[in-house]
Structure 1
């Protein structure tokens, strides 16, 4: 088997299903309970996952109080702090944290991710996001979130500043010569001297070049701006396709854009997110899904749909098809995917809202063989290079996938049985960027 799946495990929050914390097996405080998080991370490493992926929110989710009070998203750890702790109790698994280009500072972010890369011996990854939540804007002194085009213009410059700071160090900058008493060669540490539309950053960083050159760069989103940024910058692209056809369209489009920019498209991995329900039989898997969906309270449904679509759905007739929507200033690609789902399956607003309350991702439901069949089909037919696996509850969702699906994937040669490399880049087959100072 020449192709293998790149697999990430979604871990912040520990699950995405709205009602995960209500499952009888779930510690309700798992989002912020270190012993549980440590155990889950070690389970994923023992199963040879490529990476842990952590999302982030810089404010409470924008939903009515009646829905927010039912959501476990109100509390969880800062992802970089959490992954730094996980780095100390794991050895191989990658550690991908979300960092916002809308409200973060590029110098501080570059320094923190370089630190995580050193602490973990080369396992860090940065998931670039442009924050759309208007509540987050008000936490950073703004009245409203940046417009879509402004968010991506800022993100482009932010990326250039961060990577420029990492590139301001040669791999040979630290001589640490005890005999001469010279610790560093300052000719191999250069200031950035960046002055742009959004940022003015002198540099250099006061931490050495990351172990991987750059931490692995990840990006989620399907808007035109997100696709362009992914094609230019990303190593991993997180998608949200719900059919092979839409997955193939996204896969081919992003890789074509990358090729047009002179990049090797094989060095960009497309990973759709999928929530998984697996059972000994398909009926058992469907029963697990029905059980979880029945735990979702009606107060959560319409607010969750509003978040997915980026528009207020509270005035829609729940028993009619989804009306025509204005283009959102929030997640435009996400909106397109959900509208396409509603049209394709002829769902009413009520039916679509129930789907939205589940996790917001695609789904895989069935036996281990059936799930592996679909994953293999997508991998071999330009639908993906792997997946971000979303678990429906904890620990049962994790244990089901690890004990049933992973062995089936390994039997087919679609997944490793041991880690081959020392860094995240090595394990997922990505080149290490070379500093301009070393060329």
Structure 2
């Protein structure tokens, strides 16, 4: 793997960094926030600013109007966007839309792309991904999928309940995972205003960085035409892997930017704040925390870049993306936690951005699979690989 970045990518990195500093961070204190995240009005302003800067939906293909970034290029740009919690919203690379755009480009028909994907790439619409269910349905174990799809003439009737559905409130369309009568799973596309779809409630959550928050959705015999099946019937779990491996990694990219910002704030404070006759950073205890932060940030970046490089080589990267997800979510959490400690009282108040980053980031160890499930999955593959060498 060559760690050199092309002049074009360096220019894009620097342009993204300036955009976030000059156009996005000033809007973090904008009143157009609700208890779940940026309002739709604020999202649209951010989108227009990114469009004017030539940075909107950069991961989409050039044929769709994006920049066609490679996975390694995404790692560089997404980290810069993540420096503000509004950055991913501005660039249209936030979850779940970023992963849905990737999946739709890979699997959707041309008609489906024209109907749902192109408006989304243009920033005019939002989406959600409806897979997780209340008990006894699917959570970390997707095989427990309880939502059903029953064939009815040329249509399917979808019945079930989903929750923790990010962006559900105000989403224009959804990708819905349902179990078929033969036990396989299929993904369906549907407009959110279709009869039988009901947003039961929006859930209160620690994080406040997603437009639309996290919702509970009910599907009551929702009639979906067979033409709105995403890909092929029965291949839902396979398509989930197409989406999830890169989506795990883009979570890491964005949160790396947030952790880097927290570290920058703590470093400036440790340099300027005096205690016991010298700057905080000159005290060994604080200095060691800064060094540990640097190591955790760089370790995370290397895991991200390596896994992104593997994906660019055409490899599946499932094992490596699980490893990166665990390493990054835990290392970046440690980094932000140390920043809170170094800032003292300022770290637990809104005097700096660190408290907000701390609250938003805790969920990262759960989103797209908790650390324990990824460790369990990795362990199985390690044992299986060792059996093959015996």
TM-score scaled by length of structure 2: 0.29
Instruction: Select the structure that is richer in helix.
Output: 2
**Higher RCO (CA 8 Å, separation ≥ 6 residues):** 1
